[in-house]
Amino acid sequence: MFTVIYGTDKNLINNIRSYCDHQENAYITDFSDAEKCIAHMEKSNTEILFICLGETDEIPVRLREYTENNPVVTCIVGSSEDQAITAYRCGCDAFILKEDLEKQLPRKREDLILLSQRIRPLRLITFGSFEVLFKGRRMIFRSSKAKELLALCTDRRGQRISISEAADKLWSDRPYDDRVKVLYRKAVMNLRSLFREIGMEDFFITGKGWCCINTDMASCDYFDLIDAPEENAGLFKGIYMYDYSWAETTLAAIENTCRSISRKEK
């Protein structure tokens, strides 16, 4: 899960991180400055936000406005019951008393994950093998070529993929003829049927001779890296869609981006 922690209490932040870091696919960033926190969330697909409040702290107005107008699940970690009342009045999704953090966080985080999956249920995973999660569960594709076509659409980040480009990448060992066009149409129909079944028919978009995805309807590790490379370079572990040879071009570009960031940090 793409998680952000906001606050100035480093011990509290570290306690939250120490638990969340052990979770599968946990990508965590923390901020003590509200504006920087918001800027990061605007560039990435943040799914869960923890706001840590001291005894006299209040939720920053801009941060509250952001949570009210964006699909991010928010949990307040505070020091008093009064803060809990304020948190729920502001539309926050959960509250944990600081003194109960160790006991409540495991259960609360599971609730937050489930809520996040209802808000933005599709997750595209590209760093490793290509996988698609729907509400936290790995989707099973009836056709390997349909899955590869979706991977290609993901690689193109919403740009239209023509039949000829799809044929060049997915059926490179075949001549570009009517039989390949039939295979392409079968893959398209397979994906349309699959996403219609789960109520996400607007995610995979098709037209005459092309297809693409609606990137606003899914979170994706690759999208986050491209949108905010310096902040999200840590997501990349050296592997990108290793299932597909055509992905090597994007892999090289990602490696160059991460090397540039590493040189800047030195």
Residues 83 and 190 in one domain: no
The residue among 57, 86, 120 that closes a domain is 120
In the numeric block, the tokens 């800047």 are attached to 264
Residue 250 tokens read as: 């994007």
Identify the CATH number of the domain in which residue 128 sits.
1.10.10.10
Residues 115 and 129 in one domain: no
What average pLDDT values come out for the chain (266 residues) when binned by 10 residues? 86 86 71 91 82 84 82 86 76 85 84 72 89 85 96 96 97 95 97 93 94 90 86 85 96 94 74
Which residue, 30, 37, 28, 38, is CA-closest to 12?
30
Residues 215 and 191 in one domain: yes
The residue among 120, 148, 163 that closes a domain is 120
> CA 200, CA 107: separation in Å to the nearest integer?
29
For the chain, the domain total comes to 2
pLDDT in tens, 204-231: 999 999 999 999 888 888 998 888 788 7
Q: Could you give the count of Cα atoms lying within 13 Å of 24 in the half-sphere of its Cβ? A: 4
Residues 75 and 45 in one domain: yes
Query: Which pLDDT value is given to residue 2?
Result: 80
Query: Which pLDDT value is given to residue 208?
Result: 93
Identify the CATH number of the domain in which residue 33 sits.
3.40.50.2300
Residues 91 and 135 in one domain: no
The residue among 52, 86, 120 that closes a domain is 120
Residues 116 and 136 in one domain: no
For residue 244, the Cα-to-chain-centroid distance in whole angstroms is 21
Q: How many CB atoms lie within 10 A of CB 90?
A: 17
Residue 55, SS3 per DSSP: coil
Residues 182 and 223 in one domain: yes
Beta-bridge partners for 218:
122
Predicted structure pTM score? 0.66
Residues 243 and 158 in one domain: yes
> CA 233, CA 255: separation in Å to the nearest integer?
10
**29, exposed or middle or buried, with CB in 10 Å at 0-12, 13-18, 19+?**
buried
For residue 214, the Cα-to-chain-centroid distance in whole angstroms is 14
Q: Quote the domain boundaries for residue 62.
A: 2-120
